[in-house]
Structure 1
Amino acid sequence: MSLGDDREGQTRTRLPETGGDVYGGARRGGRSSSRSMITVVGVVVLLVAAIAFANRGGSGSGSAAGDEDKPKASSTAATGTRPVKGKSAGIPAGYAHDEQGAQSAAANYSVALGSADMFNTATRHTIVDAVYAPDVAAGRQSDLDRAYSSEQFLANIGLDKSGAAPSGQTFISRVVPVGTKVVSYGGDSATVEVWYTSLFGLSGDGSKNPVSESWYTTTYQLKWIGNDWKVTDFQQKDGPVPVGRDQRASTADDMTKAVEEFGGFTYAR
């Protein structure tokens, strides 16, 4: 992820164009009652169509041409292989030496590298040492230290020079993987894509950088080193980005409470 610029290995931050706390119930835009009715009718029609399709199962002949190229249920089903055996520095570790293990590692490493802990020098060093291959970690530490210690960058996102949030506010940086895909696999090396949404900003009264969501896909190059998968390099790109729903934004207090009370997951393929 990138910090301010598009440098590899950093976190991209897009600051809102308007100031002030935007949480207090703001919506993206008004919707007429007629549009709401059309939406309800559309949902009912889709539901009826889904039921009809389900009831049709087994009555027809083989699938239509091209169906064999569509994802199968097994592509997201549990394999029965234990995804991770333990933890290293609080990060899931001990992945299976196969494609499933590589995907699990990439997803969990995305969570660690996108966390608020990356803004603290000590915890950042711990994360990088746990996630990156030994021959890459030292160089990555230097790059990240320069990026995360930039007072201008920290000031732009509302943090002090030590990476701490102002009094009464909570800094939120959280990655939520949506899916993973193996691009290539060679036994002791793998290239895995992770599609995820990211929550980033300051929650609290007077926040000028309220928590917003972004969508990215990161491609990780992984190697099997020391009986585990480790990151050797990665590239990030925007999206795919879904259309936003017409939902009322939560208050700053509700957002802070949610982040404090809802813990993260250990992700597995």
Structure 2
Amino acid sequence: MSPGDGNDDDLYGGTGQTRTRLPEGGPGDGYGDGRRPARSSSRSLITVVGVVVLLIAAIAFANRGDESSSGSGDGKKPGASATAPTGTKAVASGFAHDKQGAQSAAANYAVALVSADILKPDRRTEIVRQLFVADKVAGLEAKFDKAYSTDFLSRLGLDTNGNAPAGQTYVSRTVPVGTKTTAYSDGTATAEVWCTGAFGTAGESTKNPVTNDWFTMTLKLRWTDGDWKVESFSQKDGPSPVNGDNKISSADEIAKAVEQYGGFTYAR
């Protein structure tokens, strides 16, 4: 999702992929008994690539547009909001006005931008208004709404409110693995967030099983009203480690894990 951030082929794999992150335009890696080989089969790989392409396309579309970045004044930093492991608050605030604060903001925002909530119209509006600089909000709300259309959601097996069918659980959990700043000034910063996560739908009849993914998000931030806010963002695949020979869990185990383990919203 990034307007004019350089090489779009690098950011979106040349396919217009998008992350909220579902494993691919169709189904991703399937569940099954036994252990998955260290390398996926060609069929599984094609399936996973499909879902990732679909989601990255929506984010790329939503983030397309004007991308001028200008520094804002200093302003007082609001007190940091409390965050709970339940994920009740999708995004933290009150980040320090330095490189580490920019990295922390980027890590939190990456989690929110690639969450299941971004597919829910009401929550999406709240997230966009909290994350982005004020002059980008109106345009991005319209672009996100168009990107995550009813047709798009139906292809993911979700209803118009972004919910999975009864008996299934839609999963989009992003985990920041590391961050770095590639540019920094008093009013602007560019931070990269290396992420992994679990994406897909857990359920016995799902066509889009939960799979793992690795990607890097680049967020251009602006210091405004005493906090770091997003100017624009983009993403690219990897770096990805070799797949481990892990025993694949059942759809029920994945769904229960999502319910029992709250997602984190604050990092670094």
State the TM-score bracket (shorter-chain normalisation). Answer: 0.7 to 0.9
Paired position in structure 1 for 2:121: 121
Distance change >3 Å, CA 160–CA 252, structure 1 → 2:
same
Distance change >3 Å, CA 268–CA 29, structure 1 → 2:
closer
Q: Distance in 2 between the 1:235 and 1:222 partners?
A: 12
Task: State whether residues 168 and 204 of structure 1, in contact with CA within 8 Å, keep that contact through their aligned partners in structure 2.
Answer: yes
Paired position in structure 2 for 1:93: 93
Unaligned stretches of 5+ residues in structure 2: 2-11, 40-78
Paired position in structure 2 for 1:25: 33
Q: Distance in 1 between the 2:228 and 2:142 partners?
A: 22
Q: Residue 195 of structure 2: SS of its match in structure 1? A: strand
Task: State whether residues 150 and 159 of structure 2, in contact with CA within 8 Å, keep that contact through their aligned partners in structure 1.
Answer: no
Q: Residue 140 of structure 1: SS of its match in structure 2? A: helix
For the pair shown, the structure with the greater C-alpha radius of gyration is: 1
Paired position in structure 2 for 1:174: 173
- TM-score norm. by structure 1 comes to 0.72
Paired position in structure 1 for 2:42: none
Distance change >3 Å, CA 23–CA 7, structure 1 → 2:
closer
What are the within-5 Å matches in structure 2 for residues 1-269 of structure 1? 6=16, 11=20, 13-15=22-24, 22-29=30-37, 85-86=80-81, 90=89, 91-151=91-151, 153-269=152-268
The amino acid of 1:94's aligned partner reads G
Q: Distance in 2 between the 1:186 and 1:17 partners?
A: 42
Q: Distance in 1 between the 2:106 and 2:193 partners?
A: 7
RMSD of the TM alignment (CA)?
Answer: 2.6
Unaligned stretches of 5+ residues in structure 1: 32-83
Q: Residue 182 of structure 1: SS of its match in structure 2? A: strand
Distance change >3 Å, CA 164–CA 17, structure 1 → 2:
closer
Deviation at 1:171, TM superposition (A): 0.6
- TM-score norm. by structure 2 comes to 0.72
Deviation at 1:13, TM superposition (A): 4.1
The amino acid of 2:149's aligned partner reads S
Q: Distance in 1 between the 2:26 and 2:159 partners?
A: 21
The amino acid of 1:15's aligned partner reads E
Deviation at 1:154, TM superposition (A): 1.6
Residues 10-61 of structure 1 show CA distances to partners (whole Å, capped at 9, x for unaligned) of 6464438779x93242422399xxxxxxxxxxxxxxxxxxxxxxxxxxxxxx
Q: Residue 122 of structure 1: SS of its match in structure 2? A: helix
Residues 206-229 of structure 1 show CA distances to partners (whole Å, capped at 9, x for unaligned) of 111100111111110001000000
Task: State whether residues 202 and 210 of structure 1, in contact with CA within 8 Å, keep that contact through their aligned partners in structure 2.
Answer: yes
Q: Distance in 2 between the 1:199 and 1:22 partners?
A: 13
The amino acid of 2:263's aligned partner reads G
The amino acid of 1:251's aligned partner reads S
Residues 185-212 of structure 1 show CA distances to partners (whole Å, capped at 9, x for unaligned) of 1011100000001321110111111001
Task: State whether residues 23 and 210 of structure 2, in contact with CA within 8 Å, keep that contact through their aligned partners in structure 1.
Answer: no
Distance change >3 Å, CA 16–CA 259, structure 1 → 2:
same
Q: Distance in 2 between the 1:253 and 1:7 partners?
A: 28
Q: Residue 81 of structure 2: SS of its match in structure 1? A: strand
Residues 95-149 of structure 1 show CA distances to partners (whole Å, capped at 9, x for unaligned) of 1111111000000001111111111111100000000000011111111000112
- Percent of aligned positions that are identical: 50
Q: Residue 252 of structure 2: SS of its match in structure 1? A: helix
Q: Distance in 2 between the 1:92 and 1:188 partners?
A: 20
Distance change >3 Å, CA 17–CA 221, structure 1 → 2:
closer
**Greater relative contact order structure (CA < 8 Å, 6+ sep):** 2
The amino acid of 1:260's aligned partner reads E
